[in-house]
A and B are shown apart, each in its own frame.
Chain A
């Protein structure tokens, strides 16, 4: 089983729509979770950390479900500029390194 798994998509949504997707992780003891955004031919950049109680940053909401071992990202009122690949990252063993999922591609159309 992969340490971190994501639905690759693509999710193709109209402007203004809500889109949500999940990421599952293998170790129930993992403590740190992140969502990164990667634009085409660019490096990944941190979008947001995921906290136990869930957190929002503008139109973006991240949730953690420890019982089912997944995190989620929800994007409300999608903009064309939200088109990107969203990478889930988990500190699987609570050590120095992050494990990444393969990414979920989101395309927002006009």
Chain B
């Protein structure tokens, strides 16, 4: 079974703190993604990566950065957390099938509260 592991299930941070969310997948998938999920808004793509050291902005990249130094690990960084970044963060991975992205496998999510 594909396993996508997110380092923290619940975090509480203060405004202005730097926050790291880590994600590791064990299936050698090329693609990795960070989404945030908010009630009524669904899943919105923050960043994705299709290879080591490669990254592309998603729909809402402002206030976030990412790092992919190894194929299995994709990190989301909030340089200076703000209260509007309180959300559920979901990491996902998928195999590159050559034409369109395949099935996404999600981690269990990291619920971040910024006070």
Contact = CB atoms under 8 A, between A and B. Distances in A.
Interface of A: 4, 6, 8, 31-32, 34, 36, 42-46, 49, 87, 89, 91, 94-103
Contacts of A87: 42-43
Interface of B: 31, 33, 35, 40-45, 48, 50, 56, 58, 90, 96, 99-101, 103-104, 106-109
B109 A8 contact: no
20 contacts: A31-B99, A32-B100, A36-B104, A43-B107, A43-B109, A44-B43, A45-B106, A46-B103, A49-B103, A89-B104, A91-B100, A91-B101, A94-B99, A94-B100, A96-B50, A97-B101, A98-B101, A100-B42, A102-B42, A103-B42
B58 A44 contact: no
B99 to A, nearest CB: 7
Chain B interface, DSSP helix/strand/loop, else mixed: strand
Contact of B104 (A4, A42, A94, A98): A98
Contacts of B48: 96-97
Given A31-B100, A42-B108, A100 B43 contact: yes
Contacts of A94: 99-100
Contacts of A100: 35, 42-44
